[in-house]
Amino acid sequence: MHRNNIARSGGRASSARPRLTEVAELAGVSYQTVSRVLNDQPNVRPATRRRVLEAMEQLGYAPNSAARTLASGRSLTLGVVCYDTALYGPATALIGFEQAARAAGYSVNIVSVETLTQSAILDAATRLAQQGVSGIGIISPAVSIGDAFAHMPPHIPVVSLWGPADGAIPRVVVDEAHGARLATEHLLALGHRSVSIVVGPEGHIGPDVRMRSWRETLAAHAVSPPPVLHGDWSAQSGYAAGLALADDAEVSAVFVTSDQMALGVLAALHARGRRVPDDVSVVGFDDLPEAAFFIPALTTIRQDFNQIGRRAAGILLDAPQPPAQGKNAPLVVPVTLMHRASTAPPSKLR
């Protein structure tokens, strides 16, 4: 004997975690049978199964997952690459992902990336792959990560949340286009002659789609689009954009593509003495829990972040084999307009 396990070698029930063989012993069967019960395979008599389960219960047995994955090749673990998960949306999606994974008996490993570059994401995903996860979710509102996954560790299904369409990996997105249309049409329907826009960082997927849809909606109403303002999701950047908007007397309606930025816009408009919604109407995007308590309460587009996470996990769980990763249609989560106090008809119409 080379490694003496003191804890176990001494007499009976040790404090260490019981093994499969101990369960078998207690139940009076072979360890094989216990394994059968564990992986609920057929050919175990109900009475035997019951005895085994009782023995497990009694010993407080839980299978050693390392041994399990080693022997079986299946890890029962999913990985998530997080970026900026401190934002409400991604954080909520992460929780949703975990909930769905846990419900299916999987655990969740996370790796965060500081920057949203292809190589950083690829590194993170590789880490997870080496950890042996059986699927990877990527919370990545960036445009071009598709290529990165050409060199991904082979045979691990991947799904992106708010991901780009360029890659060949499946993705879960919200109906960005519809949301932008809802927002823009809402403002037009109120009587605004035009709708300005504050979009997220260039190169991110969501903003791009929202902007395109906004432009199309304006075009459908024969409105030529005003200049586009860019932000980086932060309230700070929204404030900067808001100052620019405030100085333009033509602006009577703004679609801000995130609630955080909308908060900044509201602050800037207030600082410049432009009243909302009297002088300027503002629509956000996300429907943060706080949005209803902005001053004034923010009209915004709600997206169900938790569901995005759940759906993403679901895709991985349904695809233990890498799915047909064609240019398959993304899973689209619907959005709805929450009408609150920050939007009203332009003053001249009242």
Q: Which residues of this protein are in contact with a copy of itself, per CB under 8 A?
A: 15, 62-67, 69-70, 75, 77, 82, 85-88, 91-92, 94-95, 98-99, 102, 107-112, 127, 130-132, 154, 234-236, 238-239, 260, 263-264, 266-267, 270, 289-290, 292-295, 297, 305
Nearer to a copy of itself, 134 or 213 (CB): 134
The site partner of 336 among a copy of itself, DNA, none (C-beta below 5 to 8 Å per kind) is none
Which listed residue (13, 71, 220, 295) binds DNA by CB under 7 A? 71
Beta carbons of 254 and 199 less than 8 angstroms apart: no
Confirm if 186 and 339 have CB atoms less than 8 A apart: yes
Among 30-38, 133-141, 295-303, 342-350, which window interacts with DNA (CB under 7 A)? 30-38
Segment near DNA (CB under 7 A), from 3-11, 251-259, 289-297, 327-335?
Answer: 3-11
Q: Is 145 exposed, middle or buried (0-12, 13-18, 19+ CB in 10 A)?
A: buried
Does position 67 bind DNA by CB under 7 A? yes
Distance CA 266, CA 259 (A): 10
Pick from 305, 250, 259: nearest CA to 282: 259
> Residue 53 touches which of a copy of itself, DNA, none (CB < 5 to 8 A by kind)?
none
| Three-state SS sequence of 72-135 | HCCCCEEEEEEECCCCHHHHHHHHHHHHHHHHCCCEEEEEEECCCCHHHHHHHHHHHHHHCCCC
DSSP 348: G
User: What distance in Å separates the CA atoms of residue 52 and residue 30, rounded to the nearest whole number?
Assistant: 10
Partner from a copy of itself, DNA, none binding residue 127, C-beta < 5-8 Å depending on class = a copy of itself
Closer to DNA by CB, 24 or 265: give it: 24
Contact 7, 18 (CB under 8 A): no
* Contact by Cβ (8 Å): 195, 214: yes
Task: Choose among a copy of itself, DNA, none what residue 39 binds, the Cβ cut-off being 5 to 8 Å by kind.
Answer: DNA
- In the numeric block, which tokens belong to residue 113? 């990336």
C-alpha pair distances (Å), 309 with each of 93, 208, 267, 303, 334: 4, 21, 31, 12, 14
Least Å from the CB of residue 109 to DNA:
18
Is there binding between residue 107 and DNA (CB under 7 A)?
no
User: Which part of the chain contacts DNA (CB under 7 A), choosing from 22-30, 178-186, 220-228, 294-302?
Assistant: 22-30
Q: How far is the CB of 25 from DNA (least distance, A)?
A: 10
- Closer to DNA by CB, 32 or 119: give it: 32
In the complex, the residues that contact DNA under the rule CB under 7 A are 1-3, 5, 8, 16-17, 19-21, 28-33, 35-36, 38-39, 42-45, 47-49, 61, 63-64, 67-68, 70-74
